[in-house]
Amino acid sequence: MKAGVIAVQGDVSEHADAIRRAAAAHDEEAEVVEIRDSGIVPECDVLLMPGGESTTISRLIHREGIAPEIRDHVEAGKPVLATCAGLIVLSTDAKDDRVDTLGLIDVTVDRNAFGRQKESFEAPLDVEGLDEPFHAVFIRAPLIDEVGDDVDVLATVEDRPVLVEQGPVLGSSFHPELTDDSRIHDLAFFAEPEVEA
Ligand code: GLN
């Protein structure tokens, strides 16, 4: 499996490790490539949009011509895991003109909405599809405040969605790469598609 991590800004190596661990658990090997230019996304089976600063990520992926390739990837039904700022960039609306959102997951987000005191926090999360809670690390996390009809909410904190799924896109407002637990990467890239009964 070839996994591309959008590396224009933000945490890349932790995600690369998590993808490799998730792949190994399925007796697969993941070749992880860092993406800073156009032309590489089309070769990738799965994509990861890391956190960072959504204004910067948005500007760079548009400037480098990576944005339309991400759109094609999702339209082809190939998996994407978008975390934190990555989720903001993939959303429908970030209520901030500096973020040119891709509209690939139908949620409206509020950047930095958790406020200063709750800027960073950790919480055990019950996640649909996981047997045990996932220890989630939130860092200046976006708040998801509107969710479209085609979006499934897989986890919440205080009744607010923090893990959402639409088609091949899984988006988290927390940072699943910051623990040794690669179950969110596993959900994004290796979960068996649900078979209708
Ligand atoms: N607050 C950042 C933004 O708005 C996201 C923070 C993060 O990715 N940890 O882009």
Domain that holds residue 106: 2-189
**Could you identify the atom of ligand 1 that is nearest to the CA of residue 86?**
8
Domain assignment present for 60: yes
Nearest-CA residue for ligand 1 atom 2 is 53
Task: State which of 60, 111, 162, 178 you would mutate to test the pocket of ligand 1, scoring each by most atoms of that ligand within 8 A of its C-beta.
Answer: 111
Query: Does pLDDT of 183 surpass 80?
Result: yes
User: Does 196 reside within a domain?
Assistant: no
Q: Is 197 within the bounds of a domain? A: no
Q: Cα–Cα distance between 88 and 94 in angstroms, integer?
A: 6
Burial class (CB within 10 angstroms; exposed 0-12, middle 13-18, buried 19+) of 170: buried
Q: What's the gap between Cα 177 and its chain centre?
A: 10
pLDDT score for 34: 97
Which domain CATH number covers 88? 3.40.50.880
Cβ of 101 closer than 6 Å to ligand 1, yes or no, is: no
The residues annotated as belonging to the active site are 84, 175, 177
The verdict on residue 195 lying in a domain is no
pLDDT for the residue numbered 112: 76
Question: Is 165 a member of any domain?
Answer: yes
Q: What interhelical angle do 54-63 and 67-75 show, nearest 10?
A: 90
Rounded CA-CA distance 110/162 in Å is 12
**Is residue 72 assigned to a domain?**
yes
Reading the block at residue 161, the tokens are 């969605």
75 inside domain:
yes
pLDDT for 37: 97
This prediction has a pTM of 0.94
Q: Residue 34: inside a domain, yes or no?
A: yes
Number of domains into which the chain is organized: 1
pLDDT of the residue at 14: 95
Three-state DSSP string of 91-131: CCECCCCCCCCCCCCCEEEECCCCCCCCCEEEEEECCCCCC
Work out which ligand 1 atom sits closest to the CA atom of 54.
Answer: 10
